[in-house]
């Protein structure tokens, strides 16, 4: 943290507290208790996606890099994490600048492989024991993801739905091992690990035998899920997509496919809001899915035109997702993960900005006068409902957010920008 003289801190703290007091009164006029909202933020646990620190490269081999799979990272801003110690350093920096609680979401390519390469069908819990130890020491949970891309066996665009039986088996084995690793994480850490399956399978141009590919995917998943783990250790989720780079015309793991599969097989559905048509709203899917699923998983991201992984900002989409979770009173049923990667700006700054945006969206959701809005709605008072929703947009939310940061002992307002600049100068630029 940047050092400040104590009188400066006291002054700033005083101003933050004063602004909070006034804002608290404003919200109270609308029947909203800001202290309660801040308390409820304890249930907003964000699973940090480790891959923002190194452009989804992973550490299987020296100089591993993201290859294919319908996702792409652009930019070469200096300071990318080149190994696990650097990644941990970055993650800990990110965590030190975030209020609230976090978990860490690892991909299979982030194991401790040392100089002994282990192919994806050979990874074991042993490659992740150090991560488990790290998580224990931080008191945080871990989530996990098979890595079904950046690999020669994924080169022709198909993995779990491949017609090449040898390749399909290879990926089935990989995902099975990932579940075993995830279950070990959950068991050791006393908090269930979500193992989220996303595959890049699809076709750039018109595909005709979609039926067979989807049948193969179904068979692969059935085989993968044959082993059952207690849900206190492991939860499985499946992530759909509309299209990707190189899979523009057909994606095997579409929303219809996974929604049906997950429901029928008691799995979680993972909604990545970058994976739908731009006029579709993931916010609106939440109360629908929650009628049928005990829990769902989110990948909060920002889609920009054809790309699904820009740094999250506090836009209407992020807000709508958070509001719908809060309105459904479903914080404990919705697992909040992040998914963005951008190498064109300070990665750690982007990471903190994106995560804070999600946290802000949830805090705004918690500060909504939901009962009043619902009453208007029930009474067909639609002008009043609309007016109040509009009024909420100009409420002094910033003062509540700053206070929330203050009580969490993390920089409020613009202070984290300086923190990131210092980190860049002292750490990132020396890599």
- Using the rule CB under 6 A, is 272 a contact of ligand RNT? yes
Q: CB of 352: closest distance to ligand RNT in angstroms?
A: 19
**Residues 324, 287: contact at Cβ < 8 Å?**
yes
Q: Is 310 a catalytic residue?
A: no
Q: CB of 395: closest distance to Zn ion in angstroms?
A: 32
Residues 252-281 that bind Zn ion (CB under 5 A): 272
Gap between the Cα atoms of 390 and 421, Å rounded: 36
- Using the rule CB under 5 A, is 80 a contact of Zn ion? no
Residues 320-379 that bind ligand RNT (CB under 6 A): 339
Gap between the Cα atoms of 45 and 362, Å rounded: 10
Q: Is 198 a catalytic residue?
A: yes
Residue with Cβ nearer ligand RNT (27 or 198): 198
Strand pairing partners for 107?
145
- Using the rule CB under 6 A, is 236 a contact of ligand RNT? no
Gap between the Cα atoms of 340 and 69, Å rounded: 15
Stretch that binds ligand RNT, among 94-102, 239-247, 344-352, 386-394 (CB under 6 A): 239-247
Q: CB of 244: closest distance to Zn ion in angstroms?
A: 11
Q: Count how many Cα atoms sit within 13 Å of the Cα of residue 422 in the half-sphere of its side chain.
A: 10
Binding mask 191-220 for ligand RNT (x = CB under 6 A): -------x----------------------
Of the candidates 299, 320, 356, 385, which one interacts with ligand RNT according to CB under 6 A? 299
Q: Please pick, among 24, 127, 235, 275, the residue that the annotation labels catalytic.
A: 275
Stretch that binds Zn ion, among 36-44, 64-72, 296-304, 388-396 (CB under 5 A): 296-304
Q: CB of 339: closest distance to Zn ion in angstroms?
A: 4
Q: CB of 115: closest distance to ligand RNT in angstroms?
A: 25
- Using the rule CB under 5 A, is 299 a contact of Zn ion? yes
**Residues 217, 250: contact at Cβ < 8 Å?**
no
Binding mask 77-116 for ligand RNT (x = CB under 6 A): ----------------------------------------
Pairing mode, if any, of strands 268-272 and 296-300? parallel
User: Using CB distances below 5 to 8 A depending on partner kind, what does residue 16 bind out of ligand RNT, Zn ion, none?
Assistant: none
Binding site for Zn ion (CB under 5 A): 272, 299, 339
Binding site for ligand RNT (CB under 6 A): 51, 56, 71, 145, 198, 239, 241, 244, 272, 299, 308, 339
């Amino acid at each position: 943290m940047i050092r400040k003289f104590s009188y400066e801190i006291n002054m700033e703290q005083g101003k933050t507290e004063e602004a909070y007091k006034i804002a608290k009164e404003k919200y109270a006029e609308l029947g909203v208790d800001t202290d309660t909202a801040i308390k409820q933020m304890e249930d907003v646990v964000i699973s940090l996606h480790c891959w923002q620190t190194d452009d989804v490269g992973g550490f299987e081999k020296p100089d591993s890099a993201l290859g294919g799979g319908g996702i792409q990272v652009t930019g070469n801003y200096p300071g990318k994490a080149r190994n696990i110690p650097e990644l941990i350093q970055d993650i800990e920096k990110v965590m030190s600048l975030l209020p609230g609680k976090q978990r860490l979401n690892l991909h299979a390519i982030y194991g401790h492989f040392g100089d002994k390469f282990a192919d994806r069908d050979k990874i074991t819990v042993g490659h992740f024991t150090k991560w488990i130890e790290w998580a224990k020491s931080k008191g945080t949970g871990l989530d996990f993801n098979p890595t079904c891309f950046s690999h020669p066996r994924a080169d022709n665009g198909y993995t779990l739905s491949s017609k090449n039986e040898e390749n399909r088996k290879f990926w089935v084995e990989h995902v099975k091992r990932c579940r075993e690793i995830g279950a070990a994480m959950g068991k050791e850490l006393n908090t269930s690990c979500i193992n989220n399956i996303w595959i890049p399978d699809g076709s750039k141009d018109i595909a005709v035998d979609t039926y067979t590919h989807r049948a193969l995917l179904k068979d692969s998943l059935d085989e993968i899920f044959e082993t059952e783990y207690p849900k206190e250790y492991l939860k499985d989720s499946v992530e759909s997509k509309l299209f990707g780079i190189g899979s523009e015309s057909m994606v095997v793991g579409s929303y219809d496919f996974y929604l049906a599969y997950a429901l029928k097989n008691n799995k979680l559905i993972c909604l990545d809001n970058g994976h739908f048509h731009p006029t579709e709203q993931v916010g609106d899917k939440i109360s629908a899915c929650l009628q049928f699923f005990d829990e769902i998983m989110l990948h909060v991201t920002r889609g920009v035109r054809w790309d699904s992984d820009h740094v999250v900002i506090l836009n209407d989409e992020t807000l709508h997702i958070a509001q719908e979770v809060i309105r459904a009173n479903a914080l404990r049923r919705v697992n909040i993960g992040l998914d963005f990667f951008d190498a064109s700006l300070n990665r750690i700054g982007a990471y903190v900005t994106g995560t804070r945006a999600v946290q802000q969206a949830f805090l705004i959701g918690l500060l909504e006068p939901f009962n009043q809005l619902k009453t208007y709605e029930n009474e067909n008072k639609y002008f009043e409902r609309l007016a109040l929703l509009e009024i909420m947009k100009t409420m002094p939310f910033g003062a509540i957010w700053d206070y929330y940061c203050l009580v969490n002992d993390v920089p409020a307002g613009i202070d984290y920008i300086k923190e990131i600049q210092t980190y860049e100068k002292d750490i990132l630029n020396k890599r």
